[in-house]
Structure 1
Amino acid sequence: MSNFIPEKLSVQYRTGITITEPVIPRRYTLTHSDLTGDLFLNIGIDYAWDKINPMRDEVLGEWKQRGNSLFYCVYLSIDQGQYNQNISAKRNEIFRRELPLALTAIRYGDRFFFNAYPHLDQAPLIINFMSAYPQFAKQENWGTFQSITS
């Protein structure tokens, strides 16, 4: 896994979102530059579809509620819009290796929100690996932001 460098992260709050409100809907679009290693986090009521490129290597996340409990749901497009099992296998490997960095960037990028709602550090992280191939299409509990970033 790469090391998180805060100076490489750019955060943009989109219309309808402040540093602490709302909790729901609050959606995250994390993209990056392969050339510079810079990370770009957009936080909005909707995903930043305009920031997503054909590589489909973004990390999408949102807060969801079940009963009185909140959890953070992540969506990863393993197949990149193509259907090649070897490419999907490699992308699955890369997403799994780099996801802790991505989650750390999301947590750091929205740190004022987490400071306002510290209990969210203990909310479950539910990761959805989306793929046409059953061996890659999985939903997994990855712990909490606290367990990933500590």
Structure 2
Amino acid sequence: MSVFIPSKLSVTYLAPATPFRPVEGRKYTLTHSDTTGQLFLSIGCNYNYSAINYSMRDEVLAEWIPQLGEYSLCARVYVSGGEYDENYTKVRFMIFQKELNLALQAMVNGDQALYSNFPWLLDAPIYVHFESIYPQFNQVVFYGTPRNFLV
């Protein structure tokens, strides 16, 4: 598993989002460079679709969603929409599983100002939807809470 190195994380806020607001609908777009290991986190009211490499589709998207009076951080990764065969989809699924802790560490630590204003969000559940047309890889997994990913 990759190790989170804070100095390799670049954070950009997309207006009107700020380090402190909003919570509801706050969206994260996490991308990376395979050559430098640099992580790029965009935080806004919309996903940063221009940062996504559509030939690779290795981004992690997440959003704060109110559910039953509480917030949940709901993330998703695109594993396969049918353009990959089942074996390659399995490889992508395993890579996402391996790297997801790093991605969540980047999202949580890159948005620490939000948690200083809303510390109760540190105990909100995180769910990750692995999106795939293959049923064995199309699943929602509980990943703990943001507190688990603080460094």
TM-score range, shorter chain: over 0.9
Deviation digits for residues 74-102 of structure 1, max 9, x if unmatched?
Answer: 01001176231111101100110110010
Tell me, what secondary structure is at the counterpart of 1:29?
Answer: strand
**Aligned counterparts of 2:61 and 2:141: Cα–Cα separation in 1:** 15
Q: 1:57 to 1:10 in 2, by over 3 A?
A: same
The 5 Å alignment of 1:1-150 reads 1-53=1-53, 54-79=55-80, 82-149=83-150
TM-score when normalising by structure 1: 0.96
* Matched AA of 1:26: R
**Aligned counterparts of 2:81 and 2:98: Cα–Cα separation in 1:** 17
* Matched AA of 1:4: F
* Matched AA of 1:136: F
Segments of 4+ moved more than 2 angstroms: 147-150
TM-score when normalising by structure 2: 0.95
Which runs of 5 or more residues in structure 2 are unaligned? none
**Aligned counterparts of 1:80 and 1:7: Cα–Cα separation in 2:** 34
Tell me, what secondary structure is at the counterpart of 1:143?
Answer: coil
Q: How many residues align?
A: 150
Tell me, what secondary structure is at the counterpart of 2:80?
Answer: coil
Q: 1:81 to 1:14 in 2, by over 3 A?
A: farther
Which runs of 5 or more residues in structure 1 are unaligned? none
Q: Percent identity?
A: 44
Query: RMSD value over aligned CA atoms?
Result: 1.2
